[in-house]
Structure 1
Amino acid sequence: MPHHATATAMTRSWIRQHLPAVTSDALDDLQAVATELVSNAIRHAQALPGNKLWIQCRADEDHVEFSVVDGGSGSTPVVRPVNLESADGRGLFIVAHLADEWGARCQAGGRKEVWARVKL
């Protein structure tokens, strides 16, 4: 995916194409989670070479795990208290609410992977 705002819509489309058998409620949750993770990577992290992000979905019988790999940001993502007067800052709060679990892993070369597991 491009490290650009257009990646959020492209990610939602990619999920619909590659996971057509997922129930509509789970698909809605997964798309919301994926949108927040991709948006955060664009906003807060460096791009991978070629101005890219990597996305990946892995599914089992009960969950879909969606992950985004970026060029790193030097910080670990954390859920922050929601400021109702702010126009942003709710992304990981939404992810934590919709996903069964989520986290971040450091990878070689300074890359960071942020992932979330959504129940089917």
Structure 2
Amino acid sequence: MSCTTTSLPFTISAASQARQLLRDDLSSAGHADETFIEMAELIVSELVSNAFRHGRPSPQQTLELSWHLDESHLVVSVCDHGDFHPLQPLHPPREAEGGRGLGIIDALCDEWTVTHDHLGMRVTARLSRSTR
């Protein structure tokens, strides 16, 4: 599968759109493992939601989503135009409504990284094709 890159509107509904785009692409590539697809959807949803909640849009009011599937991993990346700040999973109280996104990503992925360049902040997550 080649690398897919798309711009999404900088709105909360972008997470739903990202999930559908990724699911369609994985399914059309013949990836039939429903557990893997659901994990990938959850990861992309959390990355896009976090970018919307904590980042900034591009001048065109978008954020960038890209993914690549190779023999061993799915690599998903989301870039917003916000400033760099160190990220780490939180441990919110049970009754908290938020704060679990990076913890979910950390639990599901083999690794995730944060980088910053002239475009903004990019969070990249790698999910093994052989799900845990």
TM-score where L is the length of structure 1: 0.94
Q: Does 1:70 align with 2:77?
A: no
Unaligned runs of 5+ in 2: 1-7
Name the residue aligned to 1:60.
70
Name the residue aligned to 1:101.
111
Q: How many residues align?
A: 119
Of 103, 111, 126, the residue aligned with 1:117 is 126
Identity of aligned residues (%): 29
**Aligned mates of 1:83, 1:3 — CA distance in 2:** 29
Name the residue aligned to 1:10.
17
Name the residue aligned to 1:19.
26
Of 20, 25, 45, the residue aligned with 1:35 is 45
Report which stretch shifted further, 11-20 or 31-40. 11-20
Please give the root-mean-square deviation of Cα atoms over the aligned residues, in Å.
1.1
Q: Give, in angstroms, the shift of residue 62 of structure 1.
A: 0.9
**Aligned mates of 1:58, 1:101 — CA distance in 2:** 15
The answer to which structure has the higher strand fraction is 2
